[in-house]
Amino acid sequence: MIEAGADPRVEIPNSLGIDLDIETNEVVVDKDQKTNIDGIYAAGDLTNGSNLKQTITAASQGAISALSAYNYCLENKN
């Protein structure tokens, strides 16, 4: 197997003040894919959520972040 490698595109996270991992330049997320900014979630290869950079992993993180964002909206509706 050959990995070409890729650098995460972090212009938007940087502009929003989202924390990045110093070593990998990936968006820092918790188990719910939440960033350090309330109401902002991230998923996929640009996060430090998993060492597996695969489509299936990104899809599962997307499902987790979507559910987390939905729950955040329910808890914070005004």
> The whole model's pTM is what?
0.84
Fold designation for 11-75:
FAD/NAD(P)-binding domain (3.50.50)
CA distance between the termini of the chain = 51
* Mean per-residue pLDDT pooled into runs of 10, the chain (78 residues): 66 94 94 97 88 87 97 92
- The whole-number pLDDT of residue 61 equals 94
What residue type is assigned to position 10 of the chain? Answer: V
Domain map (residue ranges) of the chain:
11-75
